[in-house]
Homo-oligomer: A and B are copies of this chain.
Amino acid sequence: MACIVAKFGGTSVADIERIERAADKVAAEVKRGHKVAVVVSAMSGVTNQLVQYCNDLSNSHDEREYDTVVSSGEQVTAGLMAIALQKRGVNARSWMGWQVPIICSEVHGKARIEQIDGTRMLDRFKEREVAVLAGFQGVTEGGRITTLGRGGSDTTAVALAAALNAERCDIYTDVDGVYTTDPRVCKNAKKIDKISYEEMLELASLGAKVLQVRSVEMAYKRDIPIQVLSSFDEAIGSDLPGTLVTREEDIMEQEIVNGVAFTKDEAKVTLFNVPDSPGVAAKVFDALAQQNINVDMIVQNISEDGAVTDITFTVPENELDKTMNALKIDDLKGAQIRTDANITKISVVGIGMRSHAGVAQTMFRTLANKGINIQVISTSEIKISVIVAKEYLELAVRSLHSAYGLDQE
């Protein structure tokens, strides 16, 4: 009699037939006696179409109206899923973000969930009613619709799991789990059975794309185990051989490196001759934060003469124009700005590297052996990231995957 949140991504509800198949899985969980809440994405392709409409009208559209438009896709799927469940004799009803309510911040287009009132859903569990929640959306205190950013339905699912005190959050998607790297780039990629929140966070933010970063953050913070599962498999829930994202303690054997991640859609910005005085970096990244630009990697080296320094950071490639505008601040008047979108960031991730020496060296030597020049290096406790020219992406990923012994036999 567990409480489970099951989330179905866009490809898992792409058409009526797939919605029916997803409903079969939910009905099976209900039959086992579980309390189930479902979170759905928009049918695949729908959100892209809606975003396109907004962009066609105006490049600088009102984000509140954008949210109103793009949130509609999940509304459709939630209603359809409720109908599909009822058809299977399952008591179900749809919930929009504003009906729950899921109170969000006012940062339209990229809102954060502030509060979910799960009282009514919990009440209705007593009547064995399945809650079908439209993912990706919420509502501000003022009653305007918000969305959580692309992939936001994962975050909705984990947040709902936290609000309902669920035992786990099943994320049904079009792949059967999290892989050591993208199988399209490296055919030797293998599925990971269990991975820690921290590693998943690095893999997710580094472009694994299976789970939205914020959903993993939230799962980590609230300790909600996430299962990544294929909706195309016949089995359901814990019967499926997916990937379990859970606490480090729950994973017996730690690999040194668990995955090789990469991004293709980032651009590198380098500021040369920035005054090396306190507060300049703060002002630069303040200016970017005010425009809600997601800065990823930031590297600053000590300056030779103590007068000026160089700062390099990466931003999403499609926010490069916005970034350049945001950088028109007085403090950067003497600085030169160079941008390069022709890069890829490649990272190796693993909790085991905390206690193992030589992990970074393996990376650098492997790349050097292939003649790949490393432009920027950045490390954290459990990952090492490098920026290299985009043309080396596949070669670098495959070489590293093999060098760290991740290739499947």
Task: List the interface of chain A (C-beta within 8 A of B).
Answer: 16, 19-20, 50, 53-54, 56-58, 61-62, 64-69, 71-73, 75-76, 78-80, 82-84, 86-87, 93-94, 96, 98-99, 143-145
Contacts and interface: CB of A to CB of B under 8 A. Distances in A.
Contacts of A80: 53-54, 57, 65, 69
A72 B19 CA distance: 18
Nearest to A87: B58
Report, nearest first, the 3 A-B pairs whose CB atoms are least far apart.
A68-B79, A69-B79, A72-B72
Contacts of A56: 16
Nearest to A57: B83
SS class, residues of chain A in contact with chain B: helix
A79 B66 CA distance: 7
A58 B86 contact: yes
A32 to B, nearest CB: 24
Given A16-B56, A58-B83, A99-B143, A72 B76 contact: yes
A68 B58 contact: no
Given A72-B75, A76-B50, A94 B65 contact: yes
Given A54-B83, A56-B16, A98-B98, A69 B61 contact: no
B83 A65 contact: yes
Contacts of A75: 68-69, 71-72, 75
A76 B75 CA distance: 11
28 contacts: A20-B57, A57-B80, A57-B83, A58-B84, A58-B86, A61-B83, A61-B86, A61-B87, A62-B82, A62-B83, A62-B86, A64-B93, A65-B80, A65-B86, A65-B93, A65-B94, A67-B79, A68-B75, A68-B79, A68-B96, A69-B75, A69-B76, A69-B80, A72-B72, A72-B73, A72-B75, A72-B76, A99-B144
Nearest to A142: B99
A68 B97 CA distance: 12
Contacts of A96: 68, 145
Nearest to A94: B68
A294 to B, nearest CB: 23
Contacts of A79: 54, 65-69
A82 B69 CA distance: 10
Contacts of A83: 54, 57-58, 61-62, 65-66, 69
B93 A57 contact: no
Contact of A19 (B57, B66, B71, B143): B57
Contacts of A66: 79, 83
Contacts of A67: 79
A72 B84 CA distance: 18
A136 to B, nearest CB: 13
Nearest to A67: B79
Nearest to A98: B98
Contacts of A84: 57-58
A144 B95 CA distance: 9
Nearest to A82: B65
Given A54-B83, A58-B86, A68-B75, 18 more contacts: A16-B53, A19-B57, A50-B76, A53-B76, A54-B79, A57-B80, A58-B83, A58-B87, A61-B83, A62-B82, A65-B79, A65-B86, A65-B94, A68-B96, A69-B79, A69-B80, A75-B75, A98-B98
A29 to B, nearest CB: 19
A61 B57 CA distance: 36
Contacts of A87: 57-58, 61
